[in-house]
Amino acid sequence: MCLSIPAKVEEINGEMAICSVGKSNYEASLQMIEFEDVKVGDYVLIHTGFAIQKLDAEEAEASLRTFDEFKELNNALDDEEKIDGKRIV
Amino acid sequence: MKYIDEYRNKEIVLGLAEEIKKISTKKIRLMEVCGGHTMSIQKFGLPYLLPENVELISGPGCPVCVTSREFIDKAIVYSRMEDVIITTYGDLIRVPGSFSSLDQEKAKGADVRIVYSILDALMIAKKNRTKKVIFLGIGFETTAPASAAGILKARMAGLSNFYVYSAHKVMPPAMDTLIDEGVQIDGYIGPGHVSTITGEGIYMDIPKKYGLGVVISGFEPVDLMQSILMLVKQLEANDPKVEIQYKRVVKPEGNIKAQQMLDEVFTYGDDWWRGLGVLANSGLKIRDTYSMHDAEVQIPVKVAPPKEPKGCLCGEILKGVKKPKDCKLFAKVCTPSNPIGACMVSNEGSCAAYYLYNR
Ligand code: SF4
């Protein structure tokens, strides 16, 4: 019920959009978001036939980048730990 | 698939698990209050990645599970009326009522149709003007705006044969009640898609009043593990607060347009939750202005007081005080193909999720 999927906007016809998830297409109403801001190629979250939010690409990438940094930090800490046997978190 | 695969990256998940292990020293219980989270947590086996001192428990987040038998019983009475077409999301159709289910009624010839969206129900109403088309509105803040949009559209299109039977509910009263009733939890994994609509504001009381943190989480394993890490950090620092992990979707202010639609069509009323009972202002009732589309007002029906199935612990499970495996009927008498209680029906229900992934 509360499941929603990130779908790519393929086509916009007024208030309605055709969106794709993998190889399947869905029709979704854009009336619940600021549809003037939605462009073909954007990702939206669809829930029961309505786009309920546009996905924020910057935020998505930013959080994935954090993981990279955090992996590096973790590795650095591991190396340090090997040397002095202590770990500060 | 974009925005899915990256958040299922095994290395990142394991890295987060490692991090949680390193920093968590306290014995804690974190509750998720969204059926989608319950499903992901079991599907990806997250409890097995966490250290022993971090326990995850499920709360009242599965809409089908918290819905009363009375609602199902009334929907069945509707479905038996000659001139009625019932339209519903698929989850509801197999939920046992006191004396039947919509599925059984359908097999006996009732016109019960599964729709993916309320927009499909509107189409059915348009094509069947001599019939009364009743849409069964269940779900929380995520789903309720769609029902509001449906009612607004019906009004605009003059579809006087379209009705919504609303059992829509809102989350905060349930989250407060669990703490008030003394259920032992140390933090909430906040529902991502409810929050997409409402924003973070609805949880602000929880740190203030109860000293518990809320981290609004996405649904992929990376999202959930990161949210757990954020809660662990809050707990280790004694700094409970509301944070958003699911930033790619959830804005602090939520979706204002959807909130306006909700407010236009619905008002708050008391509502019954399985496991929690009647909670003040926890249900969404259709406002008088739109009562011409309110099934309860236009087509009132009465049913006998409902009975809960014997031996079913669904209510306790929804409160987080029991787990599916505590139920004697689990996986023996009660299975997804023969569900005794609502928690086994919906794939967001704890019993169904445990049955599928953690038996
Ligand atoms: S296993 Fe079935 S009977 Fe037992 S609590 Fe779950 S739904 Fe109820």
Mean pLDDT calculated for residue range A13-20: 92
- Check residue B196 and give its pLDDT: 95
Q: Which residues of B78-113 are buried (b: 16+ CB within 10 A; e: fewer)?
A: bbebeebbbbbbebbbbbbbbebbbbbbbeeebbbe
pLDDT in tens, B290-307: 999 999 999 999 999 998
Alpha-carbon distance of B169 to B147, in angstroms, equals 12
The residue whose CA is least distant from atom 7 of ligand 1 is: B341
Asked whether the beta carbons of residue B143 and residue A62 sit closer than 8 angstroms, the reply is no
pLDDT in tens, B174-223: 999 999 999 999 999 999 999 999 999 999 999 999 999 999 999 999 99
- Check residue A60 and give its pLDDT: 78
Alpha-carbon distance of B269 to A68, in angstroms, equals 47
Name B215's Cβ contacts closer than 8 Å, sequence gap at least 6.
Answer: B187, B188, B189, B190, B227, B230, B231, B234, B242, B243, B244, B245
Q: Taking a C-beta distance cutoff of 8 angstroms, is the pair B272, B68 a contact?
A: yes
Alpha-carbon distance of B49 to B51, in angstroms, equals 7
Instruction: Label the pairing between strands B162-166 and B84-88.
Output: unpaired
Three state DSSP letters for B251-306: CCCCCHHHHHHHHHHEEEEEEEECCCEEEEEEEEEECHHHHHHEHHHHCCCCCCCC
Indicate the pLDDT class of residue B336, thresholds 50, 70 and 90: very high
pLDDT in tens, B99-158: 999 999 999 999 999 999 999 999 999 999 999 999 999 999 999 999 999 999 999 999
pLDDT in tens, B226-250: 999 999 999 999 999 999 999 999 9
Indicate the pLDDT class of residue A76, thresholds 50, 70 and 90: low
What is the dihedral angle through the alpha carbons of B261, B302, B281, B285, rounded to the nearest 10 degrees? Answer: 10
Nearest CA in chain A to B261: A32
Is some CB atom of chain B closer than 8 A to the CB atom of A45?
yes
The residue whose CA is least distant from atom 3 of ligand 1 is: B312
Mean pLDDT calculated for residue range B160-167: 98
Is residue B345 lining ligand 1, measured as CB closer than 6 Å?
no
Indicate the pLDDT class of residue B163, thresholds 50, 70 and 90: very high
Q: Taking a C-beta distance cutoff of 8 angstroms, is the pair B141, B262 a contact?
A: yes
Angle (nearest 5°) at CA B220 between B215 and B223: 35
Q: Taking a C-beta distance cutoff of 8 angstroms, is the pair A38, A29 a contact?
A: no
Domain positions in chain B are 1-359
Asked whether the beta carbons of residue A70 and residue B247 sit closer than 8 angstroms, the reply is no
Mean pLDDT for all residues in chain B? 94
Q: Taking a C-beta distance cutoff of 8 angstroms, is the pair B147, B137 a contact?
A: yes
Rg value, chain B, Cα: 20
Is residue B191 lining ligand 1, measured as CB closer than 6 Å?
no
Alpha-carbon distance of B106 to B112, in angstroms, equals 6
Decide which of 3.40.50.11740, 1.10.10.60, 3.40.50.2300, 3.40.630.30 is the CATH code for B1-359. Answer: 3.40.50.11740
| Residue the block writes with tokens 């669904």 | B314
Q: Taking a C-beta distance cutoff of 8 angstroms, is the pair A66, B230 a contact?
A: no
Asked whether the beta carbons of residue B142 and residue A4 sit closer than 8 angstroms, the reply is yes
Alpha-carbon distance of A41 to A51, in angstroms, equals 14
Domain A5-87 in this protein, CATH class: mainly beta
CA A84 from centre of chain: 40
Instruction: Look up the pTM and report it.
Output: 0.90
Comparing C-alpha atoms, which of B13, B19, B22, B18 is closest to residue B46? B13
